[in-house]
Amino acid sequence: MKILAIDTSCDDTCVALLKIKNRKLEILNNIVSSQVKLHAKYGGVYPSLAKREHQKNLPIIFKKALRPLKKKQFDLIGVTTGPGLEPCLWQGVNFAKDLAKNLGKPLIPVNHIEAHILANWLPDSTLHILHSRRLFPVVSLVVSGGHTQLILMTGIGEYKLVGETRDDAAGECFDKIAKILGLSYPGGPVIDAEATKYRSCLEGGRQIPKYRIKLPRPMIYQRNYDFSFSGLKTAVLYDFRSRSSKIRKSRWYIQEMASEAQQAIIDVLISKTVKVAKKFRSRTIILGGGVAASQELRNQLKSKCLTSDIRLLVPVKNLCTDNAAMVAATAYFHKKEAIQNWQKIKADANLKI
């Protein structure tokens, strides 16, 4: 079986081709056309601009994705229908519907959050599909620019949302903090880079200025499993405004603030995730979403899981950020739900898992 998949949930235009044989998944092509440079000058994604780029890029990368095939010989189509930016989602949905209509292929709507979770079933991840039944129940932490959710998974397609952000997502918080500090977009990678420089200086014993920055860990001690990161962003802003112009421009201040902000977010994410795992007696935690590409988050969560006797599963970094291979994998697990009447499929920006 071969599955073509499309994802246009945000600012990446993604098309992938997945081959499944004897229940083993093989990525034949996984193409991502990034718009980061276009949106960087705005400090965030402009939906109307992203929509136009999807319109331009989809036909091009669709042709590239099909190069491993002699003809358009794939069996079904998977497409992200939500959640995401609605103008962007519709570009992928309409493109997929046209393909389904013209080629007579069944179409499978895919939830973007579920796709981030099931990226762990793709090749090069730490999970082997044949042994997946032994995993459950699983706690999934999906953390990205638009979402921060804790999901209890009792089987593939069986999910219960147990916690989520009440305001800003973790990735969104990184973006806003980066903007305050005068750093580039997207914020997650640049905050990570500055924090890494700061830790390297400390570990190397280098004498550097210290500003004694201490940020809150929002909701870390509350009994619920929800998150809130808007207050953290505000705390960064207040500290930044309280400093002199010279300090604000100091690379040592920026690096220390980046390190403290990153650690504050990581502390909350890990604390809540492990708390949920213990509550539901889960021996496995799955990490997914763009922020899951952070090496510091991966390292610290791995360390915590080792001391808590919990197994951690994380996709390779290029499968953490938006891609269509994870959409294809999700479509495979829902192949029995394939829709022949493509007209019924619609985009839903607020789609729930």
Residue ranges covered by each domain of the chain:
2-125+319-344, 131-314
Pairing type for strands 311-313 and 284-288 reads: parallel
Domain 131-314 has CATH 3.30.420.40: yes
Q: What is the mean pLDDT of the chain?
A: 93
DSSP string, 11-42: SEEEEEEEEEETTEEEEEEEEEEE-HHHHHTT
**What would the pLDDT profile of 16-26 be if each residue is shown by its tens digit?**
999 998 888 99
Per-residue pLDDT, 44? 84
Do strands 24-34 and 12-21 pair parallel, antiparallel, or not at all (unpaired)?
antiparallel
Which two tokens mark 156? 């593939």
Which class is 2-125+319-344 in CATH? alpha beta
Q: Are residues 277 and 285 in contact, defined by beta-carbon separation less than 8 angstroms?
A: yes
Answer yes or no: is pLDDT of 130 > 50.
Answer: no
The DSSP string of 88-99 is HHHHHHHHHHHH
pTM, whole model, 2 decimals? 0.94
Cα–Cα distance between 250 and 1 in angstroms, integer? 56
At 213-223, the pLDDT tens digits run 999 999 999 99
Inform me whether the pLDDT recorded for 124 exceeds 80. no
Domains 2-125+319-344 and 131-314 share a fold: yes
pLDDT at 70 over 80: no
